[in-house]
Amino acid sequence: MVKLCIPTVGDEEIRAVSEVLHSGWLAHGEYNKKFEAHFAEFIGVEHAITCNSCTSALFLALVAQDITGEVIVPSFSFVATANAVVTAGATPVFVDIEPETCNMDPIRLKEAITAGTQAVIPVHYAGQCCQMDAIVEIAAEHGLCVIEDSAETLGGTYDGRQAGSFGIGCFSFFPTKNITTGEGGMLTTNDGVLAKRLRALIGHGIDSSTFEREKSQMPWFRSASLAGYNFRMSNILAAMGYEQMKKLHIMNAQRQELAAKLIGGLRDVVEVELPVVADKCEHVFQMFTVKLRKELDREDFVRSLNRKGIGASVHFYPPIHEQQYYREMADSIRFPMPVTEDIARRIVTLPIYPGMRPEDVNEIVEGVKYVILKLK
């Protein structure tokens, strides 16, 4: 059995978590500070802020800037991207994607901007950055905030810059991602005023954390400057994240090596379109996705692989604009999305994770070839 993904967790994470458990300080604490500092340095920004999920990060990035107008997002994404916009009181406006990368098409972005547009959320799909030079230029021209949904692309770069360094970065540490804390997220920014506001919003609107107050003369003094939320990450999860960050370069290199082997093994299979690494991008392959030729039945293909013990899946179907809640939002669906709709019906995610063995790669390649022959 080749699972879709297996998190890479070792003795270092276990020791760090055990240290926290034995310390008695389980809530937001010292490891949050260490994790944030390491993360900010890696991304190349001034501030990194731990939180409980990428969805919370996206939501807070909007709320902290009082964005309640239109926010342009790709429909080809996990529904959390649009949910964050709606729950923040704003309106998502869906746009189409590029056929090769599955990332937001800057041309479609430009066409969607109106007087009511306040922000754009490019989603870096499967480990590869969007065309951030074009997106940032368009956003600057129209005075739009850029919020990067970098959930799938920790370590991916565009023109030498890390995902999450072009605007406000929002990251996920779900078990399928490039590093994991089980559940968790991170916000990145170079704006010190915004960072202070975000930290307050994450912790009930109080400007200082429990850990910081504990060192003060009046640790019981808790005064809220905002009506905030409880989106904090615990010291336990931060300890795991801190240790995971030390391994990120190695784990991403392993993903890239495995992707190269999968591409090499499937290169002669004309029935599938293989991943493309775009110009200026370093792809970190959080997922390995292929697109089936239209004559193949995607459901039969995935189920056949699953029966052979290969944990194939689909990311993402249906696209957000076709999901029940969003089908009823007339203000959100203004443009045709032929590329999104086509790819959502043909894309398949094959297993990839750092601990995958050479024999697992061979099993995937041979399984794909076998199933295609069977279905033709």
Report residue 69: phi and psi, to 5°: -95, -140
Cα–Cα distances in Å, from 270 out to 280, 291, 295, 307? 27, 11, 12, 23
10 Å CB burial of residue 255 (0-12, 13-18, 19+) is buried
User: Which of 231, 256, 277, 246 is closest to 179 using CA atoms?
Assistant: 246
Residue type, 196: K
List, by residue number, the catalytic residues: 177
10 Å CB burial of residue 190 (0-12, 13-18, 19+) is middle
Structure tokens at 192: 């010190």
Where do the DSSP E strands lie in 203-280? 272-273
Instruction: Evaluate whether 2 touches 351 at the Cβ level (below 8 Å).
Output: yes
Instruction: Evaluate whether 54 touches 257 at the Cβ level (below 8 Å).
Output: no
